[in-house]
Amino acid sequence: MIRFATAGESHGPALIGTIEGLPAGMDLSVGMISGEMARRKMGYGRGGRMKIETDEVRFLTGVRRGKTLGSPVTIMIENRDFRNWEEDMDPNPREGEPGRGVFTPRPGHADYAGAVKFGHRDLRNVLERASARETATRVALGSIARQYLSLLGIDVVSYVVRIGTIEIPEDQLPPASMPFETLRNLVLSSEVFCPVPGIGEEMIEAIRTAKKAGDTLGGIFEVRTSPLPVGLGSYAQWDQRLDAALSQALMSIQAIKGVEIGLGFEAARRSGSAVHDPFVPGVDSGSLLRTRNHAGGLEGGVSNGQPLRLRAAMKPISTLYEPLPSVNIKTGMPAPASIERSDICAVPAASVVGEAMVCLALAQAASQKYGGDSVEELIAHFQGSEALKSKWEGEIGRGQG
């Protein structure tokens, strides 16, 4: 099964990611990853760090001449800012205290809880790893997972639906029928990755206003997929449910505080008849169709053949240029929370990370279902499974009834 992990500190020498369980013979190149890496750095409201980092990805293991070997793939992203932090972040022992210690915990960050947990006296030991700089690695690994999913005909796209109080109204959301390429172009033409131009402008204005006030903003992004094969995930055991895996994947992103699937929280307000998606027979017998997709592509923790529709809510950025009150842990005296170079709003970037995490969670689920040591074997297993689905559907209407 596909598994992955990340390592690295925000101002350390490099970020590292490793992903294993990929089939041998899969096309993989830095060029396939660089577009997503560039997209994560974009978005109106980002801070100065994004201008320093080039986020170039290097393959260290598992790939030879543009093809996966079936062994673990390791990627490295050098932190260019490390040259300004060599003394503070040197992994080797050094005399004296590092110069840029942090002693005033920032509300909304891991600073306090992490310091108590690990016994750190310098909060930098916490924030260096808790920082969302780590998401650069997830986006790189997510691009690899996307490449794997493309072998199964699965595509994933995301866009921003809300920043602060500015939200795309329900009737202006891109229709489910909109081709992903069209949607992607609309998203990319917006500085906040909002596919509705007028609303995007209002979002930018809201970020501008927050910045002037020394404040920050959060928001909501949506991730959609093309129709998934039926049967990813399982209701048979709690930890095999795909809805749970996708929620964890999205909730694991720094600052994400809520996840909705399909209608999400709105479903709790409606009666059942206005929520669940009726079945109707296909025009040619041999298939079941749905009249809508309120379930967001998942029933019983299993993909039901519909496109996925997921939303994630991001809280406003915690670092404020007009800082909240805090306490200096050296002096015990009130002090404004410390400031690390920071974004005003990172919802557009988070949407790219969300897309990557959905790719990784789906790749995991697909690799569990189909297995396959090589691309050839994976595709044979996938086609076998699809043939069984056709057989199952072919029996519709032929029963005794």
Ligand X SMILES: Cc1cc2nc3c(=O)[nH]c(=O)nc-3n(C[C@H](O)[C@H](O)[C@H](O)COP(=O)(O)O)c2cc1C
Of 69 and 339, which CB lies nearer to ligand X in the complex structure? 339
Cα 181 to chain centroid distance, Å, stands at: 19
Instruction: Compute the least distance from the CB of residue 331 to ligand X, in Å.
Output: 23
Q: Provide the token pair at 150.
A: 């493309």
Of 261 and 350, which CB lies nearer to ligand X in the complex structure? 350
Q: Using the CB atoms, write b or e for 8-22: b if 16+ within 10 Å.
A: bbbbbbbbbbbbbbb
Instruction: Compute the least distance from the CB of residue 15 to ligand X, in Å.
Output: 13
Of 112 and 180, which CB lies nearer to ligand X in the complex structure? 112
Name the burial class of residue 336, with classes exposed (0-12), middle (13-18) and buried (19+) by CB atoms within 10 angstroms of its CB.
middle
Instruction: Compute the least distance from the CB of residue 254 to ligand X, in Å.
Output: 3
Instruction: Compute the least distance from the CB of residue 49 to ligand X, in Å.
Output: 7
Question: Which residues here bind ligand X, judged by CB under 6 A?
Answer: 47, 108-110, 130-132, 135, 253-255, 315, 317-319, 342-343, 346, 349-350, 353
Cα 251 to chain centroid distance, Å, stands at: 9
Q: Which residue has the tokens 């919802």?
A: 347
Q: Provide the token pair at 217.
A: 């903003």
Of 29 and 342, which CB lies nearer to ligand X in the complex structure? 342
> What's the order of all strands across the beta sheet hosting 307-314?
166-167, 156-163, 219-227, 307-314, 256-261
Instruction: Compute the least distance from the CB of residue 222 to ligand X, in Å.
Output: 15
Of 213 and 288, which CB lies nearer to ligand X in the complex structure? 213
| The Cα angle at residue 62 between residues 61 and 65, in degrees rounded to 5 | 100
Of 6 and 303, which CB lies nearer to ligand X in the complex structure? 6
Distance CA 346, CA 350 (A): 6
Distance CA 164, CA 191 (A): 16
Instruction: Compute the least distance from the CB of residue 299 to ligand X, in Å.
Output: 29
Of 303 and 318, which CB lies nearer to ligand X in the complex structure? 318
Q: Provide the token pair at 54.
A: 């080039």
